[in-house]
Amino acid sequence: MAVENTFTMVKPDGVRRGLVGEVISRFEAKGLKLERMRMLTIDREMAERHYGEHVGKPFFENLVEFITSGPVVAMEWSGEGAVAVCRTLMGGTNPAEAAPGTIRGDFGLVIDENIVHGSDSPASAERELGIFFG
């Protein structure tokens, strides 16, 4: 395993609910290093770029509306195997099924509002870091 950099984001529901500190604490407690962070509101064009792989899916419009609905906190984290480690800490996509002890498992209930995003591969991380910090 090598040191990796990954992109994560607290989504608008997480910011609205005051879970930014909770998410950061969990990543920090795991031993990951916070490299960059910025708060912003995503516009439609940026949402379509970020979620390009989901264009055309039935939930896409809902997803774009949600992700542009308020500010997000975008972060870059580094550490050994950081991409997979962040995904593990986040839990499965559907919070209703995500394991207790994960962020989505502990704080989420429905798939439309699952609190956090995390890159799913080193290639996605590079692409997404470029969108948010390029």
Ligand X SMILES: Nc1nc2c(ncn2[C@@H]2O[C@H](COP(=O)(O)OP(=O)(O)O)[C@@H](O)[C@H]2O)c(=O)[nH]1
Chain residues in the site for ligand X (CB under 6 A): 59, 62-63, 93, 111-112, 114, 117, 120
CB of 96 to Mg ion, least distance (A): 17
Least spacing, CB of residue 90 vs ligand X, in Å: 7
For ligand X, which is the closer residue by CB, 20 or 111? 111
Sheet holding 116-118: strands in order across? 33-40, 72-80, 3-10, 116-118
Residue 34 binds which entry of Mg ion, ligand X, none, CB below 5-8 Å type-dependent: none
> Least distance in Å: CB of 43 to ligand X?
18
- CA 42, CA 47: separation in Å to the nearest integer? 6
41 binds, among Mg ion, ligand X, none (CB under 5 to 8 A by kind): none
Which one of ligand X, Mg ion, none interacts with residue 111, CB within 5 to 8 A by kind? ligand X
Q: Which two tokens stand for residue 26?
A: 């969990």
117 classed as catalytic? yes
The tokens describing 94, both together, are 């559907």
Rg of the chain taking only CA atoms, in angstroms: 14
Q: According to DSSP H, which parts of 57-98 are helical?
A: 60-67, 82-90
Active-site residue identified among 67, 117, 119, 132? 117
57: three-class secondary structure by DSSP: coil
> Mind telling me the catalytic residues?
117
